Amino acid sequence: MLVVFPAFLTSFGLNASWRDVLFLKADLGSPNLSLENTYLINHEWWRLITPVFLHFSITHLAFNCLWVFILGSRIEALDGKATFLLIFLISGIASNAGEFIWTGHYLVGGLSGSIYGLLGYCFILELDQKMPRYNLPIALYLFMFIWLLIGFTGILSFFGFGNIANTAHLVGMMSGFILGLIAKYGFKI
């Protein structure tokens, strides 16, 4: 429900007044988009996480919610709600910041970066286990990794999937890998 309300409130990203408050902020008068002005000078830290809760279509919202349910419920059941929320938030923030820094895109939205973070976390914890921890089929991991690679080719936009924040997906997955490694070999999250 937390992601459904903002999606409808912002008219799936079309409402400019909400967009100016919730999305990553660009200095439109400057050739450089500024993280410094947004986060350090103006202290608008919420802009790092709010794009996670914004979606641009009902299909986008439905698929993302489905993935969070599939992955999140398994992580919650085995590792607890706190671990799920931590992975979700860290990978969401990292993916939004990564997309903004790498590509300059500031009108990004969706749970996909967090989803790839959850997936990366599960993958690392299951990597060398004799028994599957989260009971996710290998085909699911393979599909998501191939989807990520295909996204970077631009072919998905060609087939009508719209602009995809591929860097956000990659950074989200890498943050999930790191959190999985910390959970597996370091301290418990």
Percent of the chain whose pLDDT exceeds 90: 41
Domain residue ranges of the chain, discontinuous segments joined by +:
4-185
Residue 91: Cβ within 10 Å count: 32
Q: Is 4-185 CATH 1.20.1540.10?
A: yes
Q: What is the DSSP string of 21-82?
A: HHSPP--TTSSS--HIIIIIIS--GGGGTGGGG--SSHHHHHHHHHHHHHHHHHHHHHH-HH
Task: Provide the whole-model pTM.
Answer: 0.82
Q: Is the pLDDT of residue 33 over 90?
A: no
Q: Is the pLDDT of residue 40 over 80?
A: no
Q: Is the pLDDT of residue 15 over 80?
A: no
Cα gap 189→178, rounded to integer Å? 12
Q: Residues with catalytic annotation?
A: 112, 169
- The predicted pLDDT at position 86 comes to 96
- The predicted pLDDT at position 27 comes to 52
The arithmetic mean of pLDDT across residues 91-117, rounded, is: 85
Cα gap 119→93, rounded to integer Å? 16
